[in-house]
């Protein structure tokens, strides 16, 4: 389960949240393609804005922040993201989802966990400033 899940054109603004999840996904493919089990998930033309705070995930397939679907967007500024298990990307955008990152620090530690990822094509991620650190097997920065 995602800790934060926004759908159907909804809009959410969070300031300095502490978001932590620990459960494993039921499908690594659904996590990578559609955001199943992400700490923060936006779908179906929804919008999320997060200023400050942290997102930490420790379950397999648990991406930190995920945007999927046309018209869906997430804006992050001054956020720290840690995804520590297999298949846990820091941020991911698919199927037309968009992420805008400003001064975001991302760390991943599990296998197959990119800091910045797009799966299924069509996702757009813009990053300005911040740091990325990956240490798991087959875990690229971008």
pLDDT tens readout for residues 4-48? 999 999 999 999 999 999 999 999 999 999 999 999 999 999 999
In a domain, 54, yes or no: yes
pLDDT at position 68: 98
Q: How many folded domains does the chain comprise?
A: 1
The predicted structure's pLDDT at residue 120: 81
Q: What is the DSSP string of the chain?
A: --SEEE-TT-EEEEES-EEEE-PPPS-HHHHHHH-TT-SEEE-TT-EEEEES-EEEE-STT--SEEEESTT-EEEEES-EEEE-STT--SEEEETT-EEEEEEEEEEE-STT--SEEE-SS--EEEEEEEEEEE-STT----
Average pLDDT over residues 125-142: 97
In a domain, 142, yes or no: no
Q: What is the pLDDT of residues 50-65, one digit of tens each?
A: 999 999 999 999 999 9
What global pTM score does this model have? 0.98
Q: Is residue 84 situated within a structural domain?
A: yes
Give the model's pLDDT for residue 121. 72
Residues spanned by the domain of 119? 4-134
In the prediction, which pLDDT does 86 show?
97
Residue 13: inside a domain, yes or no?
A: yes
pLDDT tens digits along 98-122: 999 999 999 999 999 999 999 887 8
Please state the rounded mean pLDDT for residues 86-107.
98
Q: Express each pLDDT in 63-80 by its tens digit.
A: 999 999 999 999 999 999
Domain-embedded: residue 139: no
101: in domain? yes
Do 97 and 117 touch, CB atoms closer than 8 A? no
């Amino acid at each position: 389960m995602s800790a934060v899940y926004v759908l159907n054109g909804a809009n959410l603004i969070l300031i300095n949240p502490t978001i932590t999840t620990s459960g494993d996904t039921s499908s690594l493919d659904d996590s990578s393609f559609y955001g199943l089990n992400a700490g923060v998930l936006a779908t179906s033309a929804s919008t999320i804005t997060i200023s400050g705070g942290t997102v930490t995930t420790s379950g397999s397939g648990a991406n930190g922040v995920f945007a999927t679907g046309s018209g869906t967007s997430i804006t992050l500024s001054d956020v720290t993201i840690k995804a520590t298990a297999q298949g846990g990307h820091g941020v991911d955008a698919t199927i037309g989802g968009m992420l805008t990152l400003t001064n975001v620090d991302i760390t991943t530690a599990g296998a197959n966990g990119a800091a910045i990822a797009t799966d299924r094509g069509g996702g757009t991620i813009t990053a300005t400033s911040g740091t990325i650190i990956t240490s798991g097997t087959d875990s690229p920065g971008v």
